[in-house]
């Protein structure tokens, strides 16, 4: 007879129930946080657009900041296009001095300078010289920042996803459902992170990030909810008839 969660004793089922509830709440909270960060809203459940993904993973950091978090300090939207064209055109120092430096001096260096005393000053990220600005002109995140985010993401999510998928593997649902849900969710996690890197060079992969992120989050929530349900009740339409119910109290 196939192993099921229902054969666990009551205390084990209670413990797993609280763990699965924590995963559901934590995943929803992460989605709320990510949506608010990418849309720059302050409350509610915000759904990021594909454009916000492109800005984060493809646009140069300088342009990305001017379009999003620092946009309130940009005097004219045309300034953003000027900076973007300078980067796309080869980032020459002569063009920087003639066109870009005046923009940054007006919009940015009151805070982004070593000696700034502004309330929200960022002296650790100065934008006062060509050499200081140049590192912020590469596409997307830097390789170091991308690698740091990728390994933290994979280790962190991979750890809790391993637990969720293992628990789901021992539910009484039909084998095809278990295998499909587990495979899709893990594949989505790997695709999500892989496309962070690929979007640096090709904008089309931003759509894969959106789809993979939704599939991964949805899979984690769905498996947690179904496993939680399976711990206590039987779902006739999708339960495996070969799996037994009940267990020691």
- The residue out of 137, 160, 191 marking a domain boundary is 137
CB atoms within 10 A of CB 147: 12
| Among 137, 153, 186, residue at a domain's last position | 137
Domain range enclosing 124: 61-137
Pull the structure tokens for residue 8: 């666990």
> Along the 249 residues of the chain, how does pLDDT read in single tens digits?
455 888 899 999 999 999 999 999 999 999 999 888 877 788 888 888 888 888 888 888 888 888 887 888 887 888 889 988 998 888 999 999 999 999 988 888 888 887 776 666 677 788 888 898 888 888 777 788 888 989 999 999 999 999 999 999 999 999 999 999 999 999 999 999 999 999 988 889 999 999 999 999 999 999 999 999 999 998 887 888 776 554 443
In the chain, the number of structural domains is 2
Contacts 24+ apart (CB under 8 A), 235-239: 235/173, 238/173, 238/174, 238/177, 239/172, 239/173, 239/174
Hey, which bits of 50-152 come out as E strands? none
122 in the same domain as 72: yes
In-domain check, residue 238: no
244 located within any domain: no
Pair 204, 153 in one domain? yes
């Amino acid at each position: 007879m196939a192993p099921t969660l229902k054969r666990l004793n009551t205390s084990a089922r209670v413990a797993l129930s609280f763990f699965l509830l924590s995963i559901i709440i934590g995943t929803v909270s992460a989605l709320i946080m990510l949506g608010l960060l990418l849309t720059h809203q302050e409350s509610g459940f915000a759904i990021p657009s594909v454009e916000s993904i492109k800005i984060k993973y493809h646009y140069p950091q300088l342009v990305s900041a001017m379009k999003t978090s620092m946009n309130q300090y940009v005097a004219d939207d045309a300034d953003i296009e000027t900076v973007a064209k300078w980067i796309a055109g080869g980032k020459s120092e002569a063009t920087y001095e003639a066109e870009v430096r005046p923009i940054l001096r007006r919009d940015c260096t009151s805070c982004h300078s070593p000696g700034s005393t502004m309330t929200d000053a960022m002296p650790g990220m100065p934008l006062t010289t060509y050499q200081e600005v140049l590192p912020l002109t590469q596409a997307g995140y830097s390789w170091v920042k991308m690698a740091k985010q990728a390994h933290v993401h994979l280790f962190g999510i991979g750890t809790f996803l391993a637990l969720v998928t293992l628990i789901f593997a021992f539910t009484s649902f039909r084998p095809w459902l278990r295998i499909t849900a587990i495979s899709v969710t893990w594949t989505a996690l790997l695709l999500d992170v892989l496309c962070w890197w690929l979007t640096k060079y090709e904008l089309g992969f931003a759509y894969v990030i959106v789809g993979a992120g939704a599939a991964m989050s949805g899979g984690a929530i769905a498996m947690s909810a179904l496993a939680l349900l399976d711990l206590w009740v039987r779902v006739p339409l999708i339960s495996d008839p070969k799996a037994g119910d009940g267990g020691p109290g």
